[in-house]
Amino acid sequence: MSRQALAAGLAELHLELTEATQDKLLDFRDLLLKWNRTYNLTALRNPAQAISHHLLDSLAILPHIGSGSLLDVGSGGGLPGIPLAITRPELSVSMVDTVQKKATFLQQASIELGLKNVAVHHARVEEMTGQYAQISSRAFSELALFVSLTRHLLAPGGRWLAMKGVRPDDEIAALPADVTVETIIPLRVPGLDAERHLIILKAGS
């Protein structure tokens, strides 16, 4: 049943993934729910809901992910970082979370799923170093704070990818003058009866 639900959702998102990749996504879902019983990584306990609210919600932004290295901020239970790493094995995905138990889960999940393209950081993002072509977040913070905490990590010409619910016009209005909105993409997530938007931002002109 899980495989059918995932396959139907992927078809609705116009994503073609191999059976092996779909199996790995479901393995990740199972790991997340297993660890969740002890570590409280997500409010969701329902395996079917986890497909729509976690896997498909994360993969809704897949067509908008470029080829450069990705940093996922406040990864928590690995969303969207791990689904993106599973479906894009050539993409270098780094994930950071300040909570030790969440970073431990991310590390263990990466090992169990055999994800060679993942790096996990237990750190405050403002104290990290490095340069990333893409920096993503899923309900991490308001846009202005997201930008200010990660600006030093964005490579020249890079983009921020902020996953939001309702279109955050107030947050967009509060952005620094030198941060521009490249595009706002409404997302339709199969099985998720809620507004979702991807806000793509660039620094400077």
Tell me, which fold does domain 58-203 have in CATH? Answer: Rossmann fold (3.40.50)
Rounded to 10 deg, the angle between the 100-112 and 19-39 helix axes is 150
At a CB cut-off of 8 Å and minimum separation 6, what does 73 contact?
96, 125, 135, 136, 137, 140, 146, 149, 150
Euclidean distance between CA atoms 126 and 120, whole angstroms:
15
pTM: 0.96
Rounded to whole angstroms, how far apart are CA atoms 82 and 50? 14
Mean pLDDT by 10 residues, the chain (205 residues): 93 97 97 89 83 96 97 94 98 96 96 98 96 94 96 97 96 96 97 95 85
Contact (CB, 8 A) for 17 and 87:
yes
Q: pLDDT value at position 44?
A: 77
Domain ranges of the chain: 58-203
pLDDT of residue 205: 56
